[in-house]
Structure 1
């Protein structure tokens, strides 16, 4: 499978706005991690962006996972970009 990187942005006041959706978001990420499709994910320290690495059959799979996430569906993530990544090392 190919690897994909995701860069996305968070809404303003993210800590407050994400609170009602946080557990559902984390539960979904746990399922993705256990299935092997999600390698890693996390926010930048300033909570302005999110970064993730996926191991997926195609970009469409990654985009469906992002669009199905409560953070995307509820405006916590405001933009995202997925690119196929070549892991050199």
Structure 2
């Protein structure tokens, strides 16, 4: 079972990045950027901290550093690590 806080932070990280890119490509509103930017930054940092706490391998921890999709990659790698741990 994947950690719920990590799943929430990874989803928030990706969603806020998509909002920021959409804003940049369309209206480029500074209000949207100033409201969503800090949320994205916090969720990115949460993903990194939670990945360091949960992951055993350095590769999984390093995957958290990829902006936007890093959290989703960490979730996938954690699931793989747990499956391999049960099989052993």
TM-score of the aligned structures, taking structure 2 as reference length: 0.34
Q: Which has more strand, going by share of residues? A: 1
State which structure, 1 or 2, has the greater radius of gyration over its C-alpha atoms. 2
| Higher RCO (CA 8 Å, separation ≥ 6 residues) | 1
Structure holding more helix per residue? 2
